[in-house]
A and B are shown apart, each in its own frame.
Chain A
Amino acid sequence: MLNCRDVAHEASDYIDQNLSWWRRLMFRLHLFVCAKCRRFVAHVHLTRDFLRRRGPLRASDQDIEQVMQRVKTSAPDQS
């Protein structure tokens, strides 16, 4: 049987479905009896979904300008 510490450390693997079927079964058994771990796993889930929904950070105009300039200088025959 897993304890709360195990569950907390393996929560990402659980929500990403990276646990073996046996470990996953043990994990679910623990969640069945432990409200605190259910809350913790829900938080990990929410954190992942929230961060994914935020999407990528775009480069600044200055970064883009720098890259385009470098490309123009280094590959002038093709640009």
Chain B
Amino acid sequence: MTDSIDSIDQERLRQQDHQAFEALVSQLHRPMVSVARAIVGDSLAEEVVQEAWVSAYRNLPKFEGRSSVKTWLFTIVSNEAKSRLRKEKRLVALEDFNPEGSGDYLGPDRFFRFGGHWKVPPPDWHMDSPDQLLEEKHLQKCIDHTVSILPPQQRAVFILRDIEQQALAEICNILEVTESYVRVLLHRARMKLMQVIDRYQETGEC
């Protein structure tokens, strides 16, 4: 759908070429905002990301390519956010650390209490390939909206793993959470998005 980060010439980035840097901003600004939001919350995230970009730009000549550009940038924004959090001495709201909150789709009403069998089984989907789903413009809007209202940590994990395809270990480092917690957050995010697809398949609406 978009040019990959790999297509941006790393040598030009090291030379702080504006065009190459802009391409990087275009592709990674939104995921970086998601990472920042997961750590410092909504109000400080934009500011933290701006600082992270400045820091990244200054340090581009020193970028040695030992990790990917993406991982390097996610680490910069994560460090910037953590440092800001220490300065502000704020605590991220407890709900951000609570993986619950997306459980409706697999809530207690979905299964029989004893035996754990489906009480409300998954419906048949008439669109059963990624290509078919990709053609549905209205569904894309619903998905974008749902991603935007996911709890911050869920959104960050979903974007880092399923969109940016970062390794689980990298995500743990970036967000300073355990791997099992990342897996829980990822599953919950997917369930929320799957619920949207479920409804869309059934009604054509979100």
Q: Please tell me if the beta carbons of A57 and B30 are within 8 angstroms of each other in the complex.
A: yes
Contact of B68 with A by CB under 8 A: no
User: In the complex, which residue of chain B has the Cβ closest to the Cβ of A64?
Assistant: B25
Within B74-121, the residues touching A (CB, 8 Å) are: 106, 110-111, 115-118, 121
Q: Please tell me if the beta carbons of B128 and A59 are within 8 angstroms of each other in the complex.
A: no
Q: Which of B1, B50, B122 neighbours the largest number of chain A CB atoms within 10 Å of its CB?
A: B122
User: In the complex, which residue of chain B has the Cβ closest to the Cβ of A68?
Assistant: B22
Q: Please tell me if the beta carbons of B27 and A9 are within 8 angstroms of each other in the complex.
A: no
Contact of B177 with A by CB under 8 A: no
Q: Please tell me if the beta carbons of A12 and B183 are within 8 angstroms of each other in the complex.
A: yes
Q: Please tell me if the beta carbons of B186 and A3 are within 8 angstroms of each other in the complex.
A: no
Q: Please tell me if the beta carbons of B183 and A51 are within 8 angstroms of each other in the complex.
A: no
Q: Please tell me if the beta carbons of B111 and A4 are within 8 angstroms of each other in the complex.
A: yes
Separation of A8 and B112 alpha carbons in the complex (Å): 13
The size of the chain A interface, using a CB distance under 8 A, is 43
Contact of B54 with A by CB under 8 A: yes
Q: Please tell me if the beta carbons of A56 and B30 are within 8 angstroms of each other in the complex.
A: yes
- The A-B contact count (CB < 8 A) is 136
Chain B interface secondary structure, helix, strand, loop or mixed?
helix
A 23-58 to B, binary, CB cutoff 8 A, 1 in contact else 0: 000000000000011011011101111111111111
Contacts of A49 in B (CB 8 A): 130
**Residues of chain B at the chain A interface (Cβ within 8 Å):** 1-2, 16, 18, 21-22, 25-31, 50, 53-54, 57-58, 106, 110-111, 115-118, 121-122, 124-125, 128-130, 133-134, 140, 143-144, 162-165, 168, 183, 186-187, 190, 193-194, 197-198
Beyond contacts A51-B193, A56-B30: 10 other A-B pairs, Cβ-Cβ < 8 A, are A8-B110, A40-B122, A43-B198, A50-B130, A50-B133, A59-B26, A59-B29, A63-B29, A64-B26, A79-B16
